Amino acid sequence: QFPSTAPSTTTPKPTTPERTYSLVFSDEFNTPHRTFADGSDPKWTALEKNDYTNDAQHYYSHDNAYTDTHGHLIIKSEVADTEIVGFNDVNHKEERITKHFKSAMLQSWNKFCFTGGVMEAEMALPGRHDVGGLWPAFWLLGNLARHTYVGSSEHVW
C-alpha cells in the first residue's frame, strides 16, 4: 500500500559527533507598536529608498513596516505614488520618476552578523501560491553586500 506508514530504511546517524547550539539571536516581533525607521530599532532597519534593481516598480518606505497592537510584524504593500529623483544609468542623467507601489523591507545589515550555525525562520506570506503579482521573500544575504545597493555586490558572486 502506498504511501507506506513505516520507512523502508532508517537514516544513519551522522559520523561526526552531535553538536549543541546556543541561541544568539531571536526576534518574535511580539512587542506592540514597534517602528523600524533608521535608528529606531536595535535589531532591524526599514529602508526609505527606491529599489531600482531589476526595474522594480515599488518604493521601500519605513512607514510600511511596523508591529500592530498585538505585536505582529506588518509589512504593508499598497498602491501609492511616490515621486523620486533617480539616476538613469543608461543616459547618465538624473530623472524624476513616479513609483506607483510602496512596500517595506527590513534589514539587519551591520546590526547582527551571522557567522555560522543554524538559522531558522517562520513566517506567513501573503497571497496564493498560484497567482502572480506578489513576490514576498525572506533572503539571507551576508554583510558582503547590501540589497538595493547594487555597487556593494558588484563582482561579489
92-128 pLDDT per residue, tens: 889 999 999 999 999 888 888 777 788 888 887 777 7
pTM: 0.76
C-alpha 66/C-alpha 69 separation (Å) is: 10
User: 61 near 87, Cβ under 8 Å?
Assistant: no
What is the rounded average pLDDT of the residues 128-149?
Answer: 73
Omega within 30 of 0 (cis) for the link into 12: no
